[in-house]
Amino acid sequence: MPDDVAKRSGDELVEAQGTPGLTRRTAFDGDGHWFGHVEAEPNTMSGWHHHGENTTVGYLLKGHVRVEYGPGGSLSQDVGEGEYFTVPAGVVHREGNATDDAAEAVIVRFGEGPPVFPADGPDPD
């Protein structure tokens, strides 16, 4: 007999490890993947972090976020509503929402191990 098809409604998602300014909720987790929903509060920036061996792929449902990364945090990528983005495994970064409205994204992580590792910041060079 094949495995059952599973579904979750928004109110069934489980709170996941977050970083300041970001709320993560898990829809599905296991077998080398994590799938969930992330909200970025208005006028906030997350702490520096990376996702270990996990590659992150996302789609912005609502709002605008900026992902900062690179030497000393000198690089950034602005992501708007309806746009997709990816953060490679191990890249130290932070994301934020400089608008007055909350931003929301669906996120998929592919890899093994814990999905979030706080960091002091990216290497200076």
Each residue of 6-22: pLDDT tens digit?
Answer: 899 989 999 987 777 78
Structure tokens at 113: 């191990």
Residue 53 lies in a domain: yes
Domain that residue 57 falls in: 10-118
Residue 37 lies in a domain: yes
Identify the CATH number of the domain in which residue 80 sits. Answer: 2.60.120.10
Residue 2 lies in a domain: no
CB 10 within 8 A of CB 61: no
CA distance 61 to 94: 19
Provide the number of structural domains found in the chain: 1
pLDDT of residue 70: 94
Residue 125 lies in a domain: no
Each residue of 50-94: pLDDT tens digit?
Answer: 999 999 999 999 999 999 999 999 999 999 999 999 999 999 999
CA distance 52 to 29: 16
Residue 124 lies in a domain: no
Structure tokens at 106: 């669906």
